[in-house]
Structure 1
Amino acid sequence: MSVLIVIPARFASQRYPGKPLVPLRGADGVARTLIERSWRAAQAVRGADRVVVATDDDRIRAACDGFGAEVVMTSAACANGTERCAETMAALGEGHEVIVNLQGDAPLTPPWFVEALIAGLAEDPDAGMATPVLRCDGRALAGLLEDRRAGRVGGTTAVFDSARRALYFSKEVIPFTARTYAADAPTPVFHHVGVYAYRPHALAAYPRWAPGLLEQLEGLEQLRFLENGHPVLCVEVEARGRQFWELNNPEDVPRIEAMMAEMGME
């Protein structure tokens, strides 16, 4: 299948303004911006035919020009990354069978996460979109719970049915569990990884739907699909020894840099 990867990036983030241009220091001591690290992650995906950064900000465009990324300028009216991907698809033409939304705040996303999504859509012709979920070990779950105790909006969790269709996504830690887990022990909590793969018809429909109450309360764009009766396929992925974390708050910068150092990521 022909695959387009879009990296939506906006400067005016409410939680962390200027986030795409925040420098992150790798294991080699070299600092690269978040948007460059996200672009490098996209470049590592096998089967991707084209990678573009979609933004409405000239500062981000200039930074992307500096490391050689293709940029599509989109409207400042886009409410989220999915709307920005839909606008990008319309600008480039519907010449791709799969459009991947690799959100620009997840520089640790392994390429096999995206490859699994593409394979998931290929195996399920009825699915209009897919997103990866990663089973938390005790260490990852502790990090999510610590963020909530500190009043920080950290990672998103997902619950799904036996057919892997999403039931709900939340910035709270769901499902509730009173147990404690060893750092390397599996838990019943799945971390939702902020990547989406859409078929063109599903992506084109998205901007026509008004944001629903749940999407507005949680601030999670994928809930618009559920609120409009469109199933979301959850594809379970494996970490394979890689740590994963999204950059949502300034406090996440040292955490991600520590993970890159531990994993030897330059």
Structure 2
Amino acid sequence: MKTLVAIPARYASTRYPGKPLVTLRGPDGDKTLIRRSWEAACQARGIDRVVVATDDTRIADHAAGFGAEVVMTSSDAANGTERCAEVAAALPGYDIVVNLQGDAPLTPPWFVENLVAGLAADPEAWIATPVLRCDGAALASLLADRRAGRVGGTTAVFGAGMRALYFSKEVIPFTARAYGADEDTPVFHHVGVYAYRPAALAAYPSWPSGPLEGLEGLEQLRFLEQGRPVLCVEVKANGRRFWELNNPSDVSIIEDILAGFAQLP
């Protein structure tokens, strides 16, 4: 299937203005968040095209400077999915459009590959998104963010056929048990990547934002509130640690993870 990856990036983030241009130190030198996210997307196999989608000339100029193809989108896009809908309309002819959000530079290439394969194998699903089972250490980090009043990673719950039931910035499902750092937990971290069929992207902007999407600030809830099936695809870390850049405090976490990449085989 012909697949396009779009990386939505906006400058005016409420929680972290200018986030795409934040510099992250790694064993390969200092690179911006958007550059590291673009490089992560380019590593996935079976992808035909990768573009950065933005309405900001600062991001566009920077992305073009390191070799990325840029698609300018309107400032009216309310979220990354609406921005991807604009890209899909501007660049027709793809069977699957992947939204790799610009704050997820640690996304392993097999997350994208497994996601595309999962959507291709499930013709009833409108969109697909990866979920990663938390170990005790990851769950502890999520809970620490919430106790500190920070909005950290998103969690997901799903039912039969891996159909999503809900996504939340709270840690769900509730569990009172204490888990060892390397122990599997019943909590799944939602990975900020989506794969859509073009028809899903064409319909999405015409739907009103529902109350749950408004409360949580999670764009994928619009599909659930419209009764459209969302496929969760479980992915494995394979020794890699995953984390997104949601708050300034996440910079040091991601840099520590990047430093560890030098020791990976």
* TM-score, normalised relative to structure 2: 0.98
Question: Match of 2:33, as an amino acid?
Answer: L
Deviations 1:35-63 (A, max 9, x none): 00000000001000000000000000111
1:18 Cα offset (Å): 0.2
User: Equivalent residue of 2:161, what SS?
Assistant: coil
User: Equivalent residue of 1:163, what SS?
Assistant: helix
Cα distance in 2, alignment partners of residues 92 and 98 from structure 1: 12
Q: 1:260 aligns with which of 250, 255, 258?
A: 258
Q: How many residues align?
A: 264
Question: Match of 2:15, as an amino acid?
Answer: R
1:163 Cα offset (Å): 1.1
1:65 Cα offset (Å): 1.3
Percent identity between the two aligned chains? 73
1:27 Cα offset (Å): 2.2
Cα distance in 1, alignment partners of residues 179 and 166 from structure 2: 23
Residue 11 of structure 1 corresponds to 11
User: Equivalent residue of 2:160, what SS?
Assistant: coil
Structure 1 residue runs of 4 or more that deviate by more than 6 Å after TM superposition: none
Q: Which runs of 5+ in 1 are unaligned?
A: none
Deviations 1:78-126 (A, max 9, x none): 0000000001111112x00000000000000001001011110121111
Q: After TM superposition, list the pairs within 5 Å mapping 1:13-52 onto structure 2.
A: 13-28=13-28, 30-52=29-51
Preserved CA contact (<8 Å) 2:124 2:229? no
Question: Match of 2:118, as an amino acid?
Answer: G
Residue 234 of structure 2 corresponds to 236
User: Equivalent residue of 1:37, what SS?
Assistant: helix
Cα distance in 2, alignment partners of residues 263 and 159 from structure 1: 30
Q: After TM superposition, list the pairs within 5 Å mapping 1:105-124 onto structure 2.
A: 105-124=103-122
Residue 175 of structure 2 corresponds to 177
Preserved CA contact (<8 Å) 1:27 1:265? no
Q: Which runs of 5+ in 2 are unaligned?
A: none
Question: Match of 1:135, as an amino acid?
Answer: R
Cα distance in 1, alignment partners of residues 141 and 96 from structure 2: 33
Residue 191 of structure 2 corresponds to 193
Q: After TM superposition, list the pairs within 5 Å mapping 1:87-106 onto structure 2.
A: 87-93=86-92, 95-106=93-104
Question: Match of 2:246, as an amino acid?
Answer: N
* TM-score, normalised relative to structure 1: 0.98
Cα distance in 1, alignment partners of residues 121 and 91 from structure 2: 26
CA RMSD across the alignment: 1.0
User: Equivalent residue of 2:75, what SS?
Assistant: coil
Residue 69 of structure 1 corresponds to 68
User: Equivalent residue of 2:129, what SS?
Assistant: strand
Preserved CA contact (<8 Å) 1:26 1:265? no
Residue 155 of structure 1 corresponds to 153
1:221 Cα offset (Å): 0.2
1:162 Cα offset (Å): 2.1
Cα distance in 1, alignment partners of residues 30 and 168 from structure 2: 32
Q: Confirm whether residue 84 of structure 1 aligns to residue 83 of structure 2.
A: yes
1:265 Cα offset (Å): 8.0
